[in-house]
A and B are shown apart, each in its own frame.
Chain A
Amino acid sequence: MPFNFTNLGVPIWFLVKILFLFGIAVYLIFSAVVIKQVRIMAQTIEIPLAAALQALALTHFLFALAIFLLALLFL
């Protein structure tokens, strides 16, 4: 019989889902750090784009969160 994960009783796509979720979770932490980073940067130097960059960092975090939820619910 050829080797196959399913032969071992391991739900392979469930493992892939866990892997995806872990990757996105790490990315979520990164995007949260980016929000904090932009805030610190904007406090250090007040530049015209600071508010727009803060909004961009927040949008980026929400986008990552949406993908995490998508992976959690639909994979």
Chain B
Amino acid sequence: MPDIYKAKPSEAKPAADLDEPMEQPIHSAGMFSAYARHPDNIHFENQEPGEQIELFLRRHPVTNLGWLTIAAGMLVAPLILRVFPIIDFLPARFQLVAILIWYLLNAAVILEGLLDWLFNVYIVTNKRVIDVDFRSLIYKEVSDANLDRIQDVTFSVGGVAGTLFNFGNVVIQTAGTAPNFDFVAVPKPDEVARRLQELRTGEKSAI
């Protein structure tokens, strides 16, 4: 009986190749990237030799809409003074300084919003999970847990914005006294949870 299809020798892949671990592609995370896999341009304090970042996450950019709206409102607010001259009782030079102080406060809103978003990050490496929190001006909290301490990973997507833009929370429960992790409003929570499960399974099978 004649062959209907015969694979060319070059198309056939040796079986041994399939068992080899896939080479992880290295990417550069964008400046405002909220989800990056294997970023080569991001490093963190206490990163151990040979420790590679698997996932770098921060809140979805849409979550910045609140402070961005406030900042935009503050930016145009002095124009309202032309219609409602509520500070006209002040001499002209005081009015000028008052408006400049207003813009200083506007800069503070922008700067704090930006810093809060850029530096409150979640990092998953090939060894552990790290949660970096900066609250207010002077409070810094860095928590981490080894991958083999992870017991359960659940994710949730809710709300109109979360469903539209595909972001949600990933809750990581850890064994013992290690802190639980709550990745808040991260993009692609399903992929994050799946990757964490893969890493956890790999870690446990290695033990």
B35 to chain A minimum Cβ distance, whole angstroms, is 14
Given contacts A33-B137, A47-B119, A71-B97, 9 further A-B contacts (CB under 8 A): A13-B94, A16-B90, A34-B137, A40-B140, A43-B45, A47-B118, A48-B28, A60-B111, A74-B97
Within the complex, which residue of A13, A23, A37, A44 is in contact with B137, where a contact is CB–CB below 8 Å? A37
B122 to chain A minimum Cβ distance, whole angstroms, is 11
Give 23 A-B contacts (CB < 8 Å), ordered by A residue: A20-B101, A23-B101, A27-B104, A27-B105, A31-B108, A33-B138, A34-B112, A37-B134, A37-B138, A40-B140, A41-B118, A44-B132, A45-B42, A45-B132, A47-B31, A47-B42, A47-B118, A48-B28, A48-B31, A48-B42, A49-B32, A70-B100, A75-B93
Chain A neighbourhood of B43, CB < 8 A: 45-46
B129 to chain A minimum Cβ distance, whole angstroms, is 15
The 3 A-B pairs of least Cβ separation, nearest first, read A41-B119, A46-B43, A44-B45
Chain B neighbourhood of A46, CB < 8 A: 42-44
Instruction: Encode B106-120 as 1/0 by CB contact (under 8 A) with A.
Output: 011001101100110
Chain B neighbourhood of A57, CB < 8 A: 111
Residue on A with the closest CB to B46? Answer: A44
Chain B neighbourhood of A55, CB < 8 A: none
Within the complex, which residue of A16, A38, A64 is in contact with B115, where a contact is CB–CB below 8 Å? A38
- Cα of A46 to Cα of B39 in the assembled complex, Å: 11
Interchain CB contact under 8 A, B115 and A30: no
**B49 CB-CB contact with A under 8 Å:** no
- Cα of A60 to Cα of B119 in the assembled complex, Å: 18
Chain A neighbourhood of B10, CB < 8 A: none
Instruction: Encode A10-45 as 1/0 by CB contact (under 8 A) with B.
Output: 000100100010011001001101100110110111
**B171 CB-CB contact with A under 8 Å:** no
